[in-house]
Structure 1
Amino acid sequence: MTGLDTDRTGTGPALLDGHLVVDRGTFRLDVRLRIAAGQVVALLGPNGAGKTTALRALAGLQPLAGGHVTLGGVDLDRPDRRRFVPPERRPIGVVFQDYLLFPHLSALDNVAFGPRRHGADRRTAREQAAGWLARVGLAEQAHRRPRQLSGGQAQRVALARALAVRPTLLLLDEPLAALDARTRLDTRAELHRHLHAHTGATLLVTHDPLDALVLADRLVIVEDGQVVQTGDAATVTARPRTDYVARLVGLNLYRGHAHGHTVQLGDAGRETFALSAVDRLDGDAFVVFRPAAVALHPHRPDGSPRNTWSATVVGIQRHGDNLRVQLDGPIAAVADLTPAAAAHLRLAPGQQVWAAVKATDTYAYPATAPPGT
């Protein structure tokens, strides 16, 4: 590997320091990325957010319009200094979504391709490739061609090929997207082991929150070409800052203005939400609560719930063992109900119900983003 000390927290010096500015027609990517040695960072966002554009810019497949890519203190792309290192000369390994293995080469020769390009003779390159295939558990598949491999095996060959060049930066573009559910589970565990052993920097591009949460030390959330939130998994899941992130982690999120133990939701402040007695805020704030905290009633409830509103059922979907109910009204929300509870209410699209959330089931925090978010 690189022989560098690892820092999975990302608090040490950055091995990758990037400010990626790319213009593609009406779309503009403007993203800052810093990754320490030994750290795995997940770039997470919806389709069209700019994730793959960022990866291509780092790999040298998409020149920057501005900013810079600096790896190990060396500028790879800096437009203002007319500095651009072509892809084949960058110390970067890439695992593409479709793996892009050479169909006419065996697994062994696919992995040996990188060392050969870096100057190793055929025998040495194949010895190195055999070692990497053994590390990913594919020694017995060395002489098979890609069409003879399963999806999980092809993914591991692609990973071995990327690691065989001993990259300072490893880029993974949706590496598990092409796998079925069972293979994905097993391969994710294997990938986690190999990424943990990689002493260079790793960037994982994905739209799958589970891949990001399991594999990455830090998350960078991008929407519309901009970073909207960064942090470790615990911070991002506990305090989402956009609707996309809230949906990603399964929470209802609202922004409003707090006055002590209440928050007026929306710009007009038409709806007031009561907070837990332990939450006291003043100023712009976010309020979140879990879908499971939303109770539905045929009539306005009496008793303990302090937050109630009239809602219309607009959709019902299966969600694990429960049903996820989409609600419209003064406060749009999603609620998770057991099938028995839904049957008791005889829920159907268009039905009018009352929604209720206890103040103790809410969580509020300032809307002003902390530094670096």
Structure 2
Amino acid sequence: MLDAHLVVDRGAFRLDVPLTVAAGEVVALLGPNGAGKTTALRALAGLTRLAAGHVRLDGRDLSGTPPERRGIGVVFQDYLLFPHLSALDNVAFGPRRQGRSRSAARALAADWLDRVGLAEVAGRRPRALSGGQAQRVALARALAVAPRLLLLDEPLAALDARTRLDTRASLHRHLGGFAGGALLVTHDPLDALVLANRLVIVEDGRVVQEGGAAEVTARPRTDYVARLVGLNLFRGTGSGATVRVGELDFAVADRVTGDAFVAFAPAAVAVHVERPTGSPRNTWAATVEGVQRHGDNLRVQLAGPVAAAADVTPAAAAQLGLTPGRAVWAAVKATETRSYPA
């Protein structure tokens, strides 16, 4: 449905990103701050000029087409609701611009507010809405123009944790019933994993990885993606059942040859005060660099021949005396590793 190649120059930064979105598909565009996510969204919406490339929607070339004629709905991060209009008239604004009569546009807007569960706030202005309500009004306004493509720029970023949880569930429900395609720009992996069918990871203006959630989380290809999905990731050279990373030879469960990645979860890293013996495992001397709370456990940052994270219980951390500067041994069983071609 959407076939785009977005090339945008902004000073020394160049965005060069191919994107496709199928009808009924939700694609999440993830990346660190400054990666080019919002620039890509603005280029699709016609708010930022392309230096090269193309945007085609349902086979129609949108080059030179103004934003209001593109058939694209946008939900901005700060929602951009008109402060002087009621929720009803905010939603009716787009249909009015499309040529509907005032009564028809307001009837359509009332229907959309009812769909998103906000019929009771139709007469309120934005300042009288909660964050979650404003987000749903913005979504209704975007959908009321019957777009073929829906763009969502960090739609949950401004919400508190509880409102975010409820609104994420509501957004998932509405996106599931949307016949067009949707592109979600976010830096939150949970939003992406809950809402999207496919992930596209952008760093420094380029796509570094894409695929389904299971594929991306199982085989990260950059440090950013590894941190995103909570894995330790190292690049080395495989020679069958081992991968050499710097000075270490990791025994791995999956045979691999040539340039390769090794990944394992922080929970797979055991920390000892003496070198462990017993079942075959990867071990190395390390130094505790930092300790911070991570859910119910503590995440220990380890320096050494490889920099890794380990998850331990508070009781284990106290027993082992895991404070910054403490010399320890780290161990990971080969069966806990994932290895794959780089």
**Pairwise TM-score range, normalised by the shorter structure:** over 0.9
Q: Which amino acid in structure 2 is aligned with residue 24 of structure 1?
A: R
Q: Which amino acid in structure 1 is aligned with residue 257 of structure 2?
A: D
Name the CA distance, whole Å, in 1 between partners of 2:325 and 2:83: 53
Name the CA distance, whole Å, in 2 between partners of 1:358 and 1:226: 35
Q: How many residues end up aligned between the 2 structures?
A: 342
TM-score by length of 2: 0.99
Counterpart residue number, 1:346 = 321
- Judge which range, 130-139 or 343-352, deviates more: 343-352
Deviations 1:44-74 (A, max 9, x none): 0000000000000000010100000011111
Counterpart residue number, 1:53 = 39
Counterpart residue number, 1:6 = none
Name the CA distance, whole Å, in 1 between partners of 2:161 and 2:100: 38
Counterpart residue number, 1:288 = 263
Deviations 1:165-211 (A, max 9, x none): 00011000000000000010010000001001111110000000000
1:307 aligns with 2:293: no
Counterpart residue number, 1:94 = 74
1:178 aligns with 2:178: no
> Offset at 1:299?
1.6
> Offset at 1:123?
0.6
Counterpart residue number, 1:66 = 52
Counterpart residue number, 2:300 = 325
Deviations 1:237-265 (A, max 9, x none): 01111111011001111111111111111
> Offset at 1:149?
0.8
Alignment partner for residue 85 of structure 1, among 65, 75, 85?
65
Counterpart residue number, 1:4 = none
SS at match of 2:172: helix
Counterpart residue number, 2:8 = 22
Q: What pairs up with 1:1-373 in 2 under 5 angstroms?
A: 15-77=1-63, 84-266=64-246, 270-276=247-253, 279-367=254-342
Deviation >4 Å, runs of 4+: none
> Offset at 1:113?
0.3
> Offset at 1:300?
1.4
Name the CA distance, whole Å, in 2 between partners of 1:102 and 1:346: 57
Q: Which amino acid in structure 2 is aligned with residue 65 of structure 1?
A: A
Name the CA distance, whole Å, in 2 between partners of 1:332 and 1:288: 12
Q: Which amino acid in structure 2 is aligned with residue 17 of structure 1?
A: D
SS at match of 1:132: helix
SS at match of 1:341: helix
Name the CA distance, whole Å, in 2 between partners of 1:282 and 1:151: 52
Q: Which amino acid in structure 1 is aligned with residue 49 of structure 2?
A: P
Q: Which amino acid in structure 2 is aligned with residue 20 of structure 1?
A: L
Name the CA distance, whole Å, in 2 between partners of 1:353 and 1:264: 21
> Offset at 1:359?
1.1
How big is the alpha-carbon RMSD for the aligned residues of Structure 1 and Structure 2?
0.8
Change (3 A) 1:251 1:44: same
5+ residue gaps, structure 2: none
Q: Are the counterparts in 2 of residues 305 and 357 from structure 1 also a CA contact under 8 Å?
A: no
> Offset at 1:305?
4.5
5+ residue gaps, structure 1: 1-14, 78-83, 368-373
Name the CA distance, whole Å, in 1 between partners of 2:263 and 2:240: 16
Name the CA distance, whole Å, in 2 between partners of 1:305 and 1:26: 50
Name the CA distance, whole Å, in 2 between partners of 1:70 and 1:334: 44
Counterpart residue number, 1:7 = none
Q: Are the counterparts in 2 of residues 305 and 356 from structure 1 also a CA contact under 8 Å?
A: no
> Offset at 1:306?
2.0
TM-score by length of 1: 0.91
Name the CA distance, whole Å, in 1 between partners of 2:180 and 2:205: 26
Name the CA distance, whole Å, in 2 between partners of 1:176 and 1:108: 21
Name the CA distance, whole Å, in 2 between partners of 1:256 and 1:130: 58
Name the CA distance, whole Å, in 1 between partners of 2:258 and 2:35: 30
Q: Which amino acid in structure 2 is aligned with residue 91 of structure 1?
A: G
Name the CA distance, whole Å, in 2 between partners of 1:114 and 1:189: 25
